[in-house]
């Protein structure tokens, strides 16, 4: 669906073959690797949220009642809300900012703004009606998960993680950025922003709206103490979406022969930065890197559990997320270090002291 939207937008400016080449080159973006390998809903929710937010501010035909655009935006919103309910606050913040910025910057008069607001209420109401039954069923657990982990008692646990000591760069150059973006793609995005400066300065209203969406998205996943490469995937999703849009803008200004050459260069860049290829080129061992990563997480977890006061009287809730990190391994690490062990380990959600 996302590639289809990308191709449709690009084919208005470029030959279809060039658009297909650009779309293929994006498949090596690290976020898509997470989507395929991890098979978690976070990545799909992020892509739906980013695509919907950017379409809302870059294609304002919906403000005139264009049904097709309204349908696409509404479908992307409903899809994002159903795909990952725990990210609903981020999704709603991004879409809310997008429609507010579009109406505020592109309305010619009060009548235009009111008509757009009515359309937003209608589409939003349809989306709410479609997702409401599911949210009613999971509301209590959803509320507890968001409040407890993001702002409640568990927030301090996330904040004390050594990997989140620089939260404002976590999803760009920190662990989250390395996992789903990569320094090479981040550099490419900045380069495209510079090269296309004349275009986005000329269309400053749309540029301001896009910046507002990006700022709200980044802030909404950065301010909470909760940090993981998955929780903030809306940032990598916005980056790849903007790369796609800016690549189309830049290539559409070139003669066809140069356009084909530039598209081929992007494919070459994509192939060389593709993780399996780069690991081979630079003689890195993926297995060795994983072992180091797992060992670091294991050491941090054992140290954090061992530092809990009065541990022997506490019940520990441990979500089993991997074979290398489980109750038995943690107990082994604690006993190796002559530390106490929890009184018990609980698997039912929220039925433990920690």
209-227: pLDDT as tens digits? 999 999 999 999 988 877 7
Non-local CB neighbours of 86 within 8 Å, separated by 6+ positions: 142, 145, 146
Q: Is 80 exceeded by the pLDDT of residue 79? A: yes
Per cent of the chain over pLDDT 90 is 38
User: What is the pTM for the complete model shown?
Assistant: 0.81
**Least confident segment among 6-10, 36-40, 66-70, 124-128:** 6-10
**Least confident segment among 24-28, 48-52, 313-317:** 313-317
Non-local CB neighbours of 218 within 8 Å, separated by 6+ positions: 171, 235
The pLDDT value given to residue 1 = 58
User: Is the model more confident about 27 or about 155?
Assistant: 27
User: Is the model more confident about 84 or about 347?
Assistant: 84
What confidence category does residue 164 fall into, taking pLDDT thresholds of 50, 70 and 90?
low
Q: Is 80 exceeded by the pLDDT of residue 41? A: yes
Q: Is 80 exceeded by the pLDDT of residue 132? A: yes
What confidence category does residue 179 fall into, taking pLDDT thresholds of 50, 70 and 90?
confident
The pLDDT value given to residue 143 = 84
């Amino acid at each position: 669906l996302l590639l289809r939207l990308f191709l449709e937008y690009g084919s208005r400016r470029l030959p279809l073959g060039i658009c297909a080449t650009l779309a293929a080159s994006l498949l090596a973006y690290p976020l898509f690797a997470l989507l395929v390998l991890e098979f978690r809903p976070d990545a799909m929710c992020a892509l739906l949220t980013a695509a919907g937010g950017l379409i809302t501010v870059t294609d304002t035909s919906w403000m005139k009642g264009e049904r097709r655009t309204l349908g696409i935006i509404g479908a992307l919103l409903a899809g994002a809300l159903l795909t990952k309910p725990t990210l609903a606050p981020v999704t709603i913040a991004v879409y809310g900012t997008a429609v507010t910025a579009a109406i505020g910057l592109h309305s010619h008069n009060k009548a235009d703004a009111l008509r757009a607001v009515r359309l937003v209420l209608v589409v939003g109401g349809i989306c709410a009606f479609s997702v409401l039954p599911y949210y009613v069923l999971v509301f209590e657990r959803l509320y507890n998960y968001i409040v407890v982990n993001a702002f409640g008692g568990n927030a301090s646990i996330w904040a004390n993680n050594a990997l989140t000591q620089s939260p404002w760069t976590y999803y760009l150059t920190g662990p989250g950025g390395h996992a789903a973006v990569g320094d090479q793609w981040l550099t490419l995005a900045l380069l495209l922003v510079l090269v296309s400066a004349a275009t986005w300065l000329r269309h400053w209203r749309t540029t301001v709206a896009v910046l507002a969406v990006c700022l709200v998205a980044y802030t909404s996943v950065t301010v909470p103490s909760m940090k993981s490469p998955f929780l903030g995937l809306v940032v990598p999703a916005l980056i790849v979406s903007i790369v796609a849009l800016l690549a189309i803008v830049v290539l559409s200004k070139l003669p066809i022969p140069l356009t084909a050459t530039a598209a081929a260069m992007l494919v070459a860049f994509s192939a060389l930065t593709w993780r399996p290829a780069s690991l081979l080129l630079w003689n890195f061992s993926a297995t060795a890197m994983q072992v180091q990563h797992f060992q670091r997480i294991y050491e941090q977890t054992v140290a954090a559990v061992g530092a809990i006061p009065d541990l022997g009287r506490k019940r520990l809730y441990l979500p089993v997320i991997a074979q290398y990190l489980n109750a038995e391994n943690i107990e082994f690490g604690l006993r190796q270090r002559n530390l106490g062990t929890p009184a018990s380990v609980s698997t039912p959600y929220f039925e433990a002291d920690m």
